[in-house]
Structure 1
Amino acid sequence: MKFKIVPLSKEYAARIRSTGKDAFDHPVIEQIATGSGPCRVSLKPFRKGIDKRLLISHSPFEIDNAYNQPGPVFINKEEVEEYADIHRFPPEIKANKKSFPLSLIGYSSDQQMIFTQLVGDCDVDELITRIFIQRPEVAFLHARNAQACCYICKIERVDE
């Protein structure tokens, strides 16, 4: 069983940078990174005190419903490449369990929350694969920071 990591797209980020507003029409807030992030486009951690980032409101859902969960996320101020190694979880996030404690939330195809699990000391790549094998009703997952509860990325099932 393979999976695919889905970051925010370069086009989405470019639209936010050019308009200065997020999808909820909130003004974008520019700041020097005070935390590791990560950028939701590149899925790379920010360098504290160095990188400029934009704070935006984002909802990772296509259907407006009770689980919509819009919230704050960061993107780089400058254009960056989308995370490209899509068949494995971003290694810099995976390796830093202190800065990035993870939870995985599973949703059905109609975007209803049906599963949650803290990653803890588990290997996140193995856990994602196991969830998709053992839970066929899970159409996709969201990785979230288990402490801050903020959205990191979408993880889609890839049937072989």
Structure 2
Amino acid sequence: MQKFRIVPLTKEYASRIKETRVDDFGYPIVEQIATGYGPCRISLKKFDPGKDIRLLISHSPFEIKNAFNQPGPIFVHKKEVQPYKNSHQFPPEIKADKQNFPLSLIGYNKKQNMVFTKLIGDGDVDLLISEIFDNYDDIAYLHARNAEAGCFICRIERV
């Protein structure tokens, strides 16, 4: 039985940003050759440093305006990519690369208050997500973030 669903940014969201050339905060997007692995927040795949063109935007993964509404920098591919589809498994490419993708999970309740944090370290992120949803009824959803940079990677919803 599936306990969670991975939610990347949508193609529609990215298309709007690419078309208007400004993010939701009114800042112009920054186009650059990838210097790091990312990931792209739509496909949830690594960038190829020195080759892929990425767009830097400010993004807030929250719906409610409160103290936890943390906008921050994220990257998306300049080219059109397919959204991550294997929604019941954390992206294997990110999961397998703990050096470039140190992960943390942050849990929020329905009021968008932060109620949980966990560094993944050497743990299995898929198992930890399931355990969190099994043991913490007050967590409505999780954010996966880069534990070093703090940037948002994807939302994880309870199923």
| TM-score bucket (shorter structure) | over 0.9
How large is the Cα RMSD of the aligned pairs?
0.5
Report the Cα distance in structure 1 between the residues aligned to 2:5 and 2:115, rounded to whole angstroms.
20
2:19 maps to a residue whose letter is S
Unaligned runs of 5+ in 2: none
Report the Cα distance in structure 2 between the residues aligned to 1:117 and 1:2, rounded to whole angstroms.
18
Q: What is residue 2 of structure 1 aligned with on the other side?
A: 3
Does residue 85 (structure 1) correspond to residue 86 (structure 2)? The answer is: yes
Give the % identical residues: 64
Corresponding pairs, count: 158
Report the Cα distance in structure 1 between the residues aligned to 2:25 and 2:77, rounded to whole angstroms.
19
Report the Cα distance in structure 2 between the residues aligned to 1:92 and 1:85, rounded to whole angstroms.
12
For each residue in 1:2-30, what CA deviation from the matched residue of structure 2 results, as whole angstroms up to 9, or x when unmatched? 10000000000000000000010100000
1:56 maps to a residue whose letter is I
Report the Cα distance in structure 1 between the residues aligned to 2:51 and 2:92, rounded to whole angstroms.
21
Unaligned runs of 5+ in 1: none
TM-score by structure 1 length? 0.98
Q: What is residue 74 of structure 2 aligned with on the other side?
A: 73
Q: What is residue 41 of structure 1 aligned with on the other side?
A: 42
State the SS of the aligned residue for 2:126: helix
For each residue in 1:59-104, what CA deviation from the matched residue of structure 2 results, as whole angstroms up to 9, or x when unmatched? 0001111000100000000111000000000000000000000000
Report the Cα distance in structure 2 between the residues aligned to 1:100 and 1:10, rounded to whole angstroms.
23
Runs of 4+ in 1 over 2 A off after TM superposition: none
Q: What is residue 106 of structure 1 aligned with on the other side?
A: 107
State the SS of the aligned residue for 1:153: strand
State the SS of the aligned residue for 1:133: helix
2:153 maps to a residue whose letter is I
Residue 37 of structure 1 deviates from its aligned partner by: 0.2
State the SS of the aligned residue for 1:100: coil
Report the Cα distance in structure 1 between the residues aligned to 2:65 and 2:38, rounded to whole angstroms.
26
Does residue 94 (structure 1) correspond to residue 75 (structure 2)? The answer is: no
TM-score by structure 2 length? 0.99
Does residue 129 (structure 1) correspond to residue 130 (structure 2)? The answer is: yes
1:33 maps to a residue whose letter is A
Q: What is residue 19 of structure 1 aligned with on the other side?
A: 20
Report the Cα distance in structure 2 between the residues aligned to 1:44 and 1:20, rounded to whole angstroms.
22
For each residue in 1:97-151, what CA deviation from the matched residue of structure 2 results, as whole angstroms up to 9, or x when unmatched? 0000000000001100000000001100000000000001000000000000000
Report the Cα distance in structure 2 between the residues aligned to 1:109 and 1:89, rounded to whole angstroms.
22
Q: What is residue 148 of structure 1 aligned with on the other side?
A: 149
State the SS of the aligned residue for 2:148: coil
State the SS of the aligned residue for 1:126: helix
